[in-house]
Chain A
Amino acid sequence: MTMQGSKVFAEGSDDAARTIVAFCRYAREQGLAGGVQVTLGGLRAALCLGMANRETLRSGLRAVICSSKDEWELFDQIFETFWDPVESKHSQRVPRRQQRRGVDDSDRNPSTLMSGAVGENQAEGQGSQESAGASELHRLRKADFSTLRQDDLAALETIVLRLLRQMSARLSRRQRMATSRGRLDLRRTIHHSISRGGDPIDLRYHKRKPRPNRLVILLDISGSMSPYSLFLVRFVYVLQKHFKQVNTFLFSTELVEITRLLHARRPPEALRSLSQLATGWSGGTKIGACLSDFNKLHARKLRRADTVFVILSDGWDTGEPEMLAAELAAVKHRVHKLIWLNPLLGLADYQPITRGMSAALPYIDVFAPAHNLESLMALERHL
């Protein structure tokens, strides 16, 4: 591809080239893909199609510039606005990118829960001397999260990290043993048999590449979960540092993906910006609606064969149980295993008879408690 900008067009049609370049730049400002390649593609398409027929030009540029359904749907309006700026309502469109940026920039009142998380981080410095003796460690592993003191949290995090290291080591060893002798590698077997007159004496094997499971975590942050959610967020944060493929979502009345935030190097800042993302922080719960959002927006990223789906919630749902059941069934269809961790299951007299929970039970592969460290670490058995 040696064509360069205006050279593509014949002498005298510089204007046309300039218009296309300007349009590509405009489209990029409006949130579509951009770059030299896209612009060159646009120029070549326009050269093939000519500028005279607006409809044809629109179809051509759309095919070149767009690369997803979302962009496809945005394109027509952008095209109209660029070519007929007077007729369409230019000022009403807020560029998508700027909208997104706006969310990140604003820095207003973090919720009480998150300010707890930040304050707790300061305690981390003192708490991480690992002075926890055996009995202390034992106490912390068994302690219900809702009864923990602020400064226990830091100590807990250290323990989690240590346990996770063991846990992931165990995980990988298990995979190797199971697949130590894979399929016969005929190609290499034959290669080696040539010098032995064609008798395949040394068999060669394909070794199966271990592929770690992908983890998807949905964490309930509604009011009823608040004694637990502070610690569970930190647990997920540590988990995400340790496993490569973890997607994390928060939900209450709305679903918010926080995977990228948890990848931030410094958790307190990440957690603070969380409070701005999650509008339903400690409000009511609509599990069904949130799962529906998940199915619509995020489920496409999953592959059935290797995804473990974990919901951390107490099952108090203000939505329709029928919807919850239908959406869970859809999720179940998409994933390898569906795990529901319920902190209330740690209570001696708890029965999963809330409407939401009983609607959900038929679709759950593993129903386990999540009220203390020990119960969380038991997650390993199911991964």
Chain B
Amino acid sequence: METSVGSSPSASSQSIDTIISGFEHLGYVTDRSLATAIYLVTQLRKPLLVEGHAGLGKTEVAKVLAAFLAARLIRLQCYEGLDISSAVYEWNYQKQLLAIKIQEPSKQTVEEKEKHIFSREFLLERPLLQSILVEEASPVLLIDEIDRADEAFEAFLLELLSDFQVTIPELGTVHAKHVPYVILTSNRSRELGDALKRRCLYQWIDYPDLEKEMRIVRTRLPGIEQQLAGQVVQFVQFVRKLPLSKPPGIAETLDCAQALIALGKHRLDPEAVEETLSCVSKSVEDSAKIRSAGLERILSLPTGQ
């Protein structure tokens, strides 16, 4: 694990600024805390665990990082029951069966035949193996929603993240040519094991404050009217304070703003709220809570922007 230890502090400060502006250029508004963590990912080559509520752009971090580094993005979506054969590798059985048939008349010994059908040609590379086999430069490996996978897979991942090598019994051990930049995301639906957490850098992404959310809306929807943007953001910030089962994230703010633009609205009034409520609230109970929360007050506030 080589790190460019020689980088001077002022260079680091510059690099962090570059990350912030580079990410913003790619449409991702970030703060110094996240940018510092990403800088450390590139320097210390440790995985970064990003936790936070749904819809706050956790997955986006990896995508933008890949674009920023001009690196390949390899994504592993976790789910309950995820196993080695869909995460690391699998043999192409149909092709193997065919190959055995084709080889039948040949004079090869059983050992030679076996060696042939268990060669790279018959190997289906799944995301984790792909990330190790990348030839040209370090890819970004996104392990999405790790909290959905079970403990057994987590333990396997831990091993992979420390050695960056995979052993395939029929082929031998494959080492990574370029250690990937690893981003893990979690919705905290389950607590992760201590060992995995200790291995990672950590970043908690909270709901953005008014100012940051305004910047995000303006970056992502450059055409939006100032007044409308201000109203939408204030509305969503207000809704987040209600005791909802699923508070809206940034994704919902953007959905809502986009819906309003599509409907040709210039300002957010009760009618417009009703029409776009489905963007912000994801359940009947939440919708009822929002309706009864005294929207007039928040809608009549001056936007101040």
Question: Which residues from chain A sit less than 8 Å from chain B, CB to CB?
Answer: 1, 8, 33, 37-38, 41, 44-45, 47-53, 55-56, 59-60, 62-64, 66-69, 71-73, 186-187, 190-191, 193-195, 197-198, 200, 300-303, 305, 330
Q: Which residues of B contact A302 (CB under 8 A)?
A: 190
Is the CB–CB distance between B100 and A50 below 8 Å? no
Q: Which residues of A contact B3 (CB under 8 A)?
A: 44, 48
Is the CB–CB distance between B8 and A67 below 8 Å? no
Q: Which residues of B contact A300 (CB under 8 A)?
A: 188-191
Cα separation A303 to B16 with both chains bound (whole Å): 39
Is the CB–CB distance between B202 and A1 below 8 Å? no
Is the CB–CB distance between B202 and A68 below 8 Å? yes
Residue B201, interface by CB 8 Å: yes
Cα separation A186 to B93 with both chains bound (whole Å): 7
- A72-B202, A194-B100, A300-B189 known; A48 and B93 CB under 8 Å? no
Of all chain B residues, the one with the shortest Cβ separation from A50 is B9
Residue B176, interface by CB 8 Å: no
Q: Which residues of B contact A187 (CB under 8 A)?
A: 91, 93
Residue B156, interface by CB 8 Å: no
Is the CB–CB distance between B9 and A52 below 8 Å? yes
Q: Which residues of B contact A73 (CB under 8 A)?
A: 204
Is the CB–CB distance between A64 and B1 below 8 Å? no
Is the CB–CB distance between B13 and A198 below 8 Å? no
Closest chain-A Cβ to B303's Cβ sits at a distance in Å of 30
Cα separation A49 to B91 with both chains bound (whole Å): 45
A–B complex contacts, Cβ < 8 Å, 28 sampled: A8-B5, A33-B198, A44-B3, A48-B12, A48-B43, A48-B44, A49-B13, A49-B39, A50-B10, A52-B9, A56-B16, A56-B32, A59-B37, A60-B37, A60-B40, A62-B202, A63-B36, A63-B202, A67-B198, A68-B202, A69-B204, A73-B204, A190-B91, A194-B114, A198-B101, A200-B97, A301-B190, A305-B80
Is the CB–CB distance between A45 and B198 below 8 Å? no
Identify the 5 closest CB pairs spanning chains A and B, nearest first. Answer: A50-B9, A198-B100, A59-B36, A67-B197, A63-B37
Closest chain-A Cβ to B126's Cβ sits at a distance in Å of 14
Is the CB–CB distance between A49 and B204 below 8 Å? no
Is the CB–CB distance between A62 and B80 below 8 Å? no
Of all chain A residues, the one with the shortest Cβ separation from B100 is A198
Interface size class of B (residues with CB under 8 A): 35 or more
Is the CB–CB distance between A67 and B200 below 8 Å? yes
Q: Which residues of A contact B39 (CB under 8 A)?
A: 48-49, 60
Q: Which residues of B contact A45 (CB under 8 A)?
A: 40, 44
Is the CB–CB distance between B40 and A48 below 8 Å? yes
Is the CB–CB distance between A62 and B114 below 8 Å? no
Cα separation A187 to B90 with both chains bound (whole Å): 9
Is the CB–CB distance between B9 and A49 below 8 Å? yes
Q: Which residues of B contact A72 (CB under 8 A)?
A: 202, 204
Is the CB–CB distance between B110 and A44 below 8 Å? no
Of all chain B residues, the one with the shortest Cβ separation from A298 is B191
Residue B7, interface by CB 8 Å: yes
Contact among A38, A41, A198, A301 for B191, CB-based, below 8 A: A301
Cα separation A8 to B91 with both chains bound (whole Å): 45
Q: Which residues of B contact A8 (CB under 8 A)?
A: 5
Within 8 A of A (CB), among B184-225: 188-191, 194, 197-198, 200-204
Closest chain-B Cβ to A80's Cβ sits at a distance in Å of 15
Interface hub of B3, B40, B46, B104 (most chain A Cβ within 10 A): B40
Cα separation A63 to B44 with both chains bound (whole Å): 12
C-beta contact mask, B123-141 vs A, less than 8 Å → 1, else 0? Answer: 0000000000000000000
Is the CB–CB distance between A69 and B198 below 8 Å? no
Residue B49, interface by CB 8 Å: yes
Cα separation A41 to B37 with both chains bound (whole Å): 12
Closest chain-B Cβ to A9's Cβ sits at a distance in Å of 10
Residue B33, interface by CB 8 Å: yes
**Beyond A50-B10, A197-B104: 9 further Cβ-contacts under 8 Å?**
A44-B44, A52-B9, A56-B12, A56-B36, A62-B202, A194-B100, A198-B101, A300-B188, A303-B150
Residue B287, interface by CB 8 Å: no
Q: Which residues of A contact B203 (CB under 8 A)?
A: 63
- A41-B44, A63-B37 known; A1 and B1 CB under 8 Å? yes
Is the CB–CB distance between A194 and B36 below 8 Å? no
Residue B255, interface by CB 8 Å: no
Is the CB–CB distance between A194 and B110 below 8 Å? yes
Cα separation A302 to B104 with both chains bound (whole Å): 52
Residue B113, interface by CB 8 Å: yes
Residue B154, interface by CB 8 Å: no
Is the CB–CB distance between A63 and B201 below 8 Å? yes
Residue B86, interface by CB 8 Å: no
Q: Which residues of A contact B113 (CB under 8 A)?
A: 194
Q: Which residues of B contact A41 (CB under 8 A)?
A: 44, 46
Is the CB–CB distance between B100 and A64 below 8 Å? no
